[in-house]
């Protein structure tokens, strides 16, 4: 386990945990915290023992309640500072979306602003039934750029994206699920157990197949002129050339769980 005050990382078996640890401020994120996310993801990417990463917030009140507005005078006070802040956050989101292993946002309580954008950067989102979601940019006078809005459109479509941004209101867990913002809603008392079992289910599958699927879906979402179809084909070839492919067939014939190694 590693900790740097407001950020914690640890792994339990095949599951890596990235924890936003600022519960007194509902896990509001500072510039340093955004930078730490990329560093932690890089560590998990290099660790073959980690097959799935869960992002969550410390405490019982929030996943991430957006950017730490109390630090705006220090971190976003003029155009140069705003440009630097935006560059750091965009790099963090790019690192999260480009991460080759599956990611799960485990959401409890408030998931607001940058926290919601962070959750949308994950592959899967599981929330407690007492969770609340909002993107309040219109209440703060913030501009929201192309790449950020595209994440919403890719996830919930243009109509719900407009509703989320135009109203800037809070949505409850059932509304979030109906929009497609979250994959699953579970009772608050069952959240940690459900996510751990879900992550273990994913981790037990062939890593190359999972990674290849993630890569290909990412290419599907790009404009057709920008898709790397050769990278997609290469990902499929790696699966069929792997020892895991042989193990999967052998385990199926022997009626036993496969033991995949990612090779």
Task: For the chain, give every domain's residue range.
Answer: 2-203, 207-254
**pLDDT per residue as tens digits for the range 36-84:** 999 999 999 999 999 999 999 999 999 998 776 666 655 555 687 778 8
pLDDT at 16: 97
Q: Is it the case that residue 1 has pLDDT exceeding 60?
A: no
Q: State the pLDDT confidence band at 4, using cuts at 50, 70 and 90.
A: low
Q: Is it the case that residue 2 has pLDDT exceeding 60?
A: no
**pLDDT per residue as tens digits for the range 148-173:** 899 999 999 999 999 999 999 999 99
pLDDT at 86: 81
Fold (CATH) for 2-203: 2-enoyl-CoA Hydratase; Chain A, domain 1 (3.90.226)
Residue 178: C-alpha distances to residues 94, 156, 158, 198 (Å): 27, 9, 14, 21
pLDDT at 230: 97
């Amino acid at each position: 386990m590693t900790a740097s005050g407001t950020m914690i990382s640890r792994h339990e078996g095949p599951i890596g945990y990235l924890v936003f640890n600022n519960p007194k401020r509902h896990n509001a994120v500072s510039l340093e915290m955004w930078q730490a996310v990329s560093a932690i993801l890089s560590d998990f990417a290099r660790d073959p023992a980690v097959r799935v990463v869960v992002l969550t917030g410390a405490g019982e009140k929030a996943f991430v309640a957006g950017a730490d507005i109390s630090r705006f005078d220090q971190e976003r006070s003029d155009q140069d500072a705003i440009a630097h802040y935006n560059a750091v956050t965009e790099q963090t989101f790019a690192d999260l979306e480009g991460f080759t292993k599956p990611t799960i946002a485990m959401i409890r309580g408030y998931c607001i602003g940058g926290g919601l954008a962070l959750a949308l950067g994950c592959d899967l989102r599981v929330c407690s039934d007492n969770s609340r979601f909002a993107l309040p940019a219109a209440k703060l006078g913030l501009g929201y750029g192309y790449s950020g809005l595209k994440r919403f459109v890719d996830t919930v479509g243009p109509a719900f994206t407009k509703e989320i941004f135009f109203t800037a209101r809070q949505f409850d867990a059932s509304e979030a699920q109906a929009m497609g913002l979250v994959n699953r809603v579970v009772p608050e008392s069952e959240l940690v157990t459900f996510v751990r079992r879900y992550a273990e289910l994913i981790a037990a599958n062939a890593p190359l197949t999972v990674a290849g699927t993630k890569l290909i879906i990412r290419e599907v979402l790009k404009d057709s002129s920008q898709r790397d179809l050769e990278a997609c084909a290469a990902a499929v070839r790696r699966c069929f050339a792997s020892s895991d492919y042989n193990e999967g067939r052998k385990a199926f014939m022997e009626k036993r769980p496969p033991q995949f190694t990612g090779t």
